[in-house]
Every structure is written in structure tokens, then in C-alpha cells.
A and B are shown apart, each in its own frame.
Chain A
Amino acid sequence: MQSETTTPQAVTVRTPQGEDGAQAPAVLLRDIRHDFGDLHVLAGLTLEVAAGETVALVGPSGCGKSTLLEIACGLQRPSSGTVAATPAALVPQRDALLPWADALDNAALPLRLQHVTRAEARRRAEPLLAELGLSGFERARPAQLSGGMRQRVAFARALLTGRDVLCLDEPFGALDAITRAEIHRWLAGALAVQPRTVLLVTHDIEEALVLADRVCVLSPRPARIVAELAVAGARPRDPADPALIALRRQALEALRAC
């Protein structure tokens, strides 16, 4: 049962199950407000993400995108509003891998946290790394991997949490343009093989349009959604596609208007 109460107090409901399980949104944020002291970060934001959908949150730097993601992940409670979300796995801005552990140990970390033995965790993580194009690098430590590969290990780690919702917090911000285009192609492929609900935070409108089914444009702080753009077509999309260029203009205009 999905219990929801909208009170001035924040209410967090994990694992929503609607009357009809398949129809329940994977992430439901309703009227979320969040303040850090006098700083109003989120001003009544409502967002619904259906299971299997990829939604991108785009907005200027410091607008509260990451805070919103932390709320969706359950890392923070909003000042007020309702959160109903299945537990999510976080792919952080910097890959945040264990520097002393190899790729396999890093990917297998969530299994270790579930008290799986090291040998068994490594055995289970191995096929996934191969699937993500990292075979041959199982024993490489993060310092020996390229930025794109490290991000893929972080992605494998998120997948091995076994959670259906992935929260990607500007995961490709530190990568160069060529690697980024490459990892966009790769991510689209990976999500085709391992379908997940994805909440992607980025300040790059193009990245959002290339990857997401729906793009929510956030205003500067205090953030609210100023535009919602549905994007059609198979992923990854060509950023030079005229339809995408038109959507991009629309997003920029929405940002300029607020």
C-alpha cells in the first residue's frame, strides 16, 4: 500500500506499491521543499518517474539538483513534502571508487555489504564487468583506469546493489567531450541490456536530450520545474538531430524566462 500524507513535515515512504504494482511510479516526489537554514533550495517540486523511464534534471549550477537527487535516494529528508521511492543506487559525480581495491572488488562492494564473501562477490561481479566492456581490467585499480572506465566500474557497482532505480549525479561531468559521447553510447547500450529507472542530474542540456525520455528543466534557486520536454527516438540520439536542436532551444528559453 502506498501511504501518502502531505503535511508540513516530510514524509518518506520507501518501496511504493500501488494498487496495481506495475503502474506505481518508481519515484514520486510531491511538493518537495527544502531549506538549508535561510537558504531556500527547493520550492515545492513535484516529480514522478515511471518504472523503466529515464528522466533528466537539468538546471544551472547550484540550483539544488543534487539535493533533489539526495532526497530521491533517501540520503536526505526534505524540509517538507512527500517522498515515495523505491531504494535507489547512487552513481556519484566523481566515481568515488576505493583507490586500493581493484575493479572487481569495487564493483562487488554492495554484495560485500550484504555479507557475501569476497570470493563469491567477485565471482558474481565478473560477468557484469565483462558485459560493461571491462574484461581484462578486473584486477586494475582505479588509478590504472581511464576516467570513462572508472565511471563504468561505478555504474557496475550501482547495478550490483540490485536496485531498480539509479540516481546519476552528474556522472560524466569530469570527462572530456569525446569520452563523454562514447560513454553516452555505452550507457544507452547498457540500459538496453539492464533496464533500470534512471534519474539523471546534469547541467548539460545536450547530455539530457541524448539520454533521457523526459527532461525537466529546473530554475535557479529556489528550484522548481519550469519546463518538461518529452524526447522521442531511440537512444543514444544524435545531438545534431533537428528535433533535438529545437528541444534544446526550448529548454534554453525556459531557463532564460525564469
Chain B
Amino acid sequence: MLSAVIVLALLGAWELYVQLGSVDELLLPAPSAIVTALVDERALLWSNFTVTATEVGLGILLALAVGLLLAVGLHLSKTAHRAIYPLLVASVALPIPVIAPLLVVWFGYDLGPKVVIVALVAFFPIVVVTLGALSSTDSELLRVLRSMDATRWQRLRFAELPAAVPAAVSGAKIAVAVAVMGAVFAEYAGSEAGLGHMILQSIPQLETARAWAAVVVLATFAISLVALLAIVERRLRATHSPTPRGLS
């Protein structure tokens, strides 16, 4: 509620700032111009949106699968943890604009490199959060399982994984923002469609309002994706965590 008021106030100030001619409209279009672009260009925005949404969606799914597997691997092997974890941290420092063209050369102009780049940037928070959940499993519970002669796999299967799966989704939620950015940069590196591609095309064509409309679509998409993952996380936690499902 309060944040809605703040957003409205900011939009009003922005509109006023542009209308008063304080800034070149090619540099910063007024919110009203962006809304007009959103309406006028809706077909173009939609077709490009589906491309980017596919890239982000598949990329996050790939990151979830690989991230969960890698987290379990690092959790099971101290050696792997020591060897790979620093590399993982270092991977965050990889500048996407630098590696994206390389991936385009390797995988071509279509979906492949975009999905890989999105997965690459999204998977670090997933691994970190999942690893945290795996290693914070109740030690008393693990002691009981060991006393019942549970194998390493059984301890994972019955005690550690059920807590780690919702954590992975929670990591994906954190990763959404960078994933969307990753998709835009991947499209910058070479693409024929997508909202990033559209932004890249619009600016030299002096269609700034259209570029901003694409940004609005991207932001809305990111927010919706976070909300969706929050729902999935809550559903998983309902069956995987101590929160009671309504006390009887």
C-alpha cells in the first residue's frame, strides 16, 4: 500500500521532470510515453517476451537441476567442496558480456546459449542456499538415523533432501533478478528476438519509449516469477517443514 504511494509519487515527479523539458525525451521518455508504447507495441512486445520468458524459465529449471545436484555432491564430499566451492564463488565474478559471445560461437544464435547463460548466473545462489540447508540438518536427527544403521543415501533421502528441495527453490527466487539480466546480456551478444534484442534495436532507432516499455515488461516478468516461486516454495515447505498446516 505504502509502496504503491511511493511508486505513484515517483512516477508523478518523473512525468513532471520530463514535461518541464529538463531532459531530452530521447534520453528519458515520460511515463505517459512509455505507457503509450506499451499499448501501441503490444504485439511486438508479446512476441519478444515469449522468447525471453522461455530463455529465463528453461535457464532457471536447468540451474535448479544442476544446482541441486552439485549442492548434494559438495555436501557428500569434503574434497569436492574444497576443490569446487572457490571456483563457484569465482564464477560469480565472470562478466556475462565477456563470456556471452563465446557461448554464442559455441552454441549458435538460438535458445541454447541463452539458457546456458541464464543457468550460469542463476545457479550460484541456488547452490549456496541449498548447501546451507543440507548442512544445517538437525544433528540429533542424524544421530538417531545413524543409530538405526541408516546408510549415507538413506540419511540424505529421509533427512537432508526434504529440507534441501524447498531451499533450492528459495535460492532460485533470489536468482530471478540476475537470471533476467543474464537473458538480456545473452541476447545482446547475438540474437534475433527477445526483449533484450528489442532494447538493443530500439535505442539506435531513437525509439527510447519502446526500449523502456520492454524494460517495464521485463520488470513485471521478474516480479511475477518471484511471486510464483514464492508460492511453489510455500507449497513445498508446507509438506517439508515444521510450520503447522493450521493447528487442530
Q: Which residues of A contact B (CB under 8 A)?
A: 73-75, 87-90, 92-94, 96-100, 109-110, 112-113, 140-144, 157, 161, 167
> Which one of A74, A92, A143 contacts B144 once the chains associate, using CB atoms below 8 Å?
A92
B241→A99 contact, CB < 8 A: yes
**What's the least CB distance linking B136 to chain A, in Å?**
13
**What's the least CB distance linking B165 to chain A, in Å?**
10
B147→A75 contact, CB < 8 A: yes
B244→A90 contact, CB < 8 A: no
B248→A100 contact, CB < 8 A: no
Instruction: Give the contact stretch, choosing among B71-79, B109-117, B154-162, B203-211.
Output: B154-162
Q: How far, in angstroms, from A140 to B246 measured CA to CA in the complex?
A: 11
Residues of B within 8 A of A112 (CB): 158
Given contacts A100-B239, A100-B241, A144-B248, contact A94 B147 (CB under 8 A): no
CB-based nearest A residue for B247: A144
A113→B148 contact, CB < 8 A: yes
Additional 13 contacts, C-beta under 8 A, given A89-B148, A141-B244: A73-B147, A74-B147, A75-B146, A75-B147, A87-B149, A89-B147, A98-B141, A99-B241, A109-B158, A141-B242, A143-B242, A143-B244, A144-B245
**What's the least CB distance linking A169 to chain B, in Å?**
9
**What's the least CB distance linking A156 to chain B, in Å?**
13
Q: How far, in angstroms, from A94 to B143 measured CA to CA in the complex?
A: 11
Query: Which 4 pairs from chain A and chain B are nearest by CB?
Result: A99-B242, A90-B147, A96-B140, A143-B244
B141→A144 contact, CB < 8 A: no
Residues of A within 8 A of B159 (CB): 98
B214-247 to A contact mask, C-beta < 8 Å, 1/0:
0000000000000000000000000111111101
What are 20 residue pairs bridging A and B, where the CB atoms are less than 8 Å apart in the complex? A75-B146, A90-B144, A90-B147, A92-B144, A93-B140, A96-B140, A96-B144, A97-B141, A99-B240, A100-B163, A113-B145, A113-B148, A113-B149, A113-B150, A113-B154, A113-B158, A140-B248, A141-B245, A144-B248, A167-B147
A143→B140 contact, CB < 8 A: no
Q: How far, in angstroms, from A100 to B138 measured CA to CA in the complex?
A: 13
CB-based nearest B residue for A73: B147
B140→A92 contact, CB < 8 A: yes
B241→A90 contact, CB < 8 A: no
Residues of A within 8 A of B241 (CB): 99-100
